[in-house]
């Protein structure tokens, strides 16, 4: 995919919107996540609109709601705005309760456009890889930073994989599935055991 001034403008806009944000478990600049998601999208054949949407996929949800989405539409066009909108599970502030919000997103995902599913899968893949890394570093303490806790987070990422597969699998969805499986197995391997049966606690 050729890199145009339009893409570079999107990098600059994402940096301006998210410049003060940090990743909640690692503390790294949030822009690193956005660039990583855009990179995954490009690695899996995404076009410029999809790569720009990857840079801005959290902009409406976390940085201004509908007015920000309108600005994205003005700057980068309707296709980008539609992808960002499709990757957004709420623009309400404060956000609705976590579980119903995620359940609604899971219902929406299989019928979303291929572009939305591409950006969503790339986002979740980078998140899953980041959670794996931080779990190896810090163990169970990381779950206190997630609204869904350990069980809710594991449920959600597995459910995203299954929702995406309902629209047909591909290399990116399979890679996401492998990352989620690795996370599940790592968490289970560190669970305490009861008695002499060797069965992990539920």
* Residue tagged active-site, from 61, 71, 85, 123: 61
| Residue-range domain boundaries for the chain | 5-189
* Residue tagged active-site, from 62, 162, 174, 175: 62
Res 24: pLDDT? 77
- Let me know if 61 is a catalytic residue: yes
- Which of 137, 138, 135 has the alpha carbon at shortest distance from 179? 135
CA pair distance 132, 135, nearest whole angstrom: 5
Superfamily of domain 5-189: Hypothetical protein af1432 (1.10.3210.10)
Res 23: pLDDT? 85
Ramachandran angles phi, psi of 19, nearest 5°? -60, -30
Res 195: pLDDT? 38
- Let me know if 85 is a catalytic residue: no
**pTM, entire model:** 0.91
Q: What is the pLDDT along the chain (202 residues), one digit of tens a residue?
A: 778 999 999 999 999 999 888 887 778 999 999 999 999 999 999 999 999 999 999 999 999 999 999 999 999 999 999 999 999 999 998 889 999 999 999 999 999 999 999 999 999 999 999 999 999 999 999 999 999 999 999 999 999 999 999 999 999 999 999 999 999 999 999 876 533 333 333 2
Identify the DSSP state of 97: P
């Amino acid at each position: 995919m050729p890199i145009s001034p339009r893409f570079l403008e999107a990098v600059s806009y994402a940096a301006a919107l998210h410049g003060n944000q940090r990743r909640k478990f690692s503390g790294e600049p949030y822009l690193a996540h956005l660039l990583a998601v855009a990179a995954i999208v490009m690695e899996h054949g995404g076009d410029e609109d999809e790569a720009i949407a990857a840079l801005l996929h959290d902009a409406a949800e976390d940085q201004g709601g509908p007015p920000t989405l309108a600005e994205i539409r003005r700057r980068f066009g309707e296709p980008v705005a539609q992808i960002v909108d499709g990757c957004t599970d709420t623009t309400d502030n404060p956000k609705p309760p976590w579980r119903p919000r995620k359940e609604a997103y899971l219902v929406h995902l299989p019928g979303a456009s291929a572009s939305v599913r591409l950006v969503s899968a790339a986002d979740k893949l980078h998140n899953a890889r980041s959670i794996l890394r931080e779990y190896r570093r810090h163990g169970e303490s990381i779950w206190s930073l997630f609204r869904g806790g350990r069980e809710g987070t594991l449920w959600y990422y597995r459910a995203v994989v299954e929702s995406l597969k309902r629209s047909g699998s591909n290399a990116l969805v399979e890679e996401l599935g492998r990352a989620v499986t690795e996370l599940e197995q790592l968490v289970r391997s560190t669970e305490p055991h009861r008695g002499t049966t060797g069965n992990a606690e539920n």
